[in-house]
Amino acid sequence: MLRSIRGATTVSNNDASKILEATGELINHIIRENALDISQITSIIFTCTKDLDKAYPAVSARKLGIIHAALICAQEMYVEGSLAMCIRLTISAEMDISQEEVKHIYLRGAKGLRPDITGASGSDFSVAIDGPSGVGKSTVAKHCAKELGFLYIDTGAIYRTFAYYCMESGIDITDQSQVDKIADTASIEVKFVNDRQIVYCKGIDVTGKIRSQLVADNTSKISTIASVRKRLVAMQQEFAKSQNVVMDGRDIGTVVLKDSPLKIYLDASAKIRAKRRSDELESMGQKADYQMILKEVIDRDHRDMNREIDPLKKAEDAVLIICDNLSASEVSAAICAIARKRMTLKRG
């Protein structure tokens, strides 16, 4: 049966090679994620925002060997507040699955495409969630992003990827001069597939590999280095410029998104957080020493709260939520209720 697959991506500037590279990457992701053969594709409709005119994105399809499908290119109607430098496509393909099983793909932050669809006042509403290690920020942020229809940005994963890069490259993270030399050139990248953040180190997907305790410990140490923070903060801020996001970390409300209309600070006791971390590691098949993890949680809190650059602290205008006796669902529901109220006020 004929099914429709949607996709979108962005480019950094109006350059022919970048347009074709990004479009080819998007098509390849769609083919891979949906287990498509190019012979199943019957047509592709491409649209570009008006700021892209250096190449027809359909050229990339032909280069991939899609020669029998009908290809159409059009300029997308401009809507105030919509995402800039964006390429969208709709693939029609013969597939033996239901439309609900189709996987739509959004890369390079191309999620908040149109303000009338996202429901916020333009694509610039953000939810900034801060708090200490193990408080459940990522779980809550993911729930909120899904409920609100926003893009979830896991900033911790970005820092972990940088730490992983250093570990894989034999760089001594205690030697700041070594880290400074590679801060701007380290091969790390973030992409979004079906609203899922994927991180790459040297072109390899390391999303699962960065979750070890060793990487977590090294991440806390490397996140105090100014050159690292400069690069990664800029990367995070770029994601929030053109789409509605939920972002969690330790300095989101105080540094990264200091003008965010909604800042949240989550907190819980060290014992509760150590137990959650222990359970998480065991669920991943890894051994967990609770007492050692508790000591690491306390030590990490001290490092994060006392580092010279952008220490962990509650923003003055952040909403404090104590999570000891609350489930992730309860915390998420509270945040979403506040977000919807503030979005309504913002639109008004």
Distance CA 135, CA 118 (A): 28
Catalytic residue among 3, 86, 88, 160: 88
303 flagged as catalytic: no
For residues 264 and 318, the answer to whether their CB atoms sit within 8 Å is: yes
> By the 8 A CB rule, do 268 and 144 touch?
no
DSSP state for residue 66 in the 8-state scheme: -
* Catalytic residue status for 114: yes
User: Which residue in the list 21, 56, 114, 342 is annotated as catalytic?
Assistant: 114
Active-site residue flag, 160: no
Nearest alpha carbon to residue 246 among 163, 162, 183, 331: 331
106 is annotated as an active-site residue? yes
User: Among this protein's residues, is 48 annotated catalytic?
Assistant: no
C-alpha–C-alpha distance, residues 17 and 23, integer Å: 10
Going along the chain, which residue ranges are E strands?
2-10, 41-48, 70-75, 86-94, 105-106, 126-130, 151-154, 188-193, 196-201, 204-205, 245-249, 262-267, 319-322
73, 231, 340, 342: the catalytic one is 73
**CA 250, 243, 201 angle in degrees (round to 5)?**
60
Q: Which of 3, 48, 76, 277 is catalytic?
A: 76
By annotation, the residues acting in catalysis are 6, 62, 73, 76, 88, 106, 114
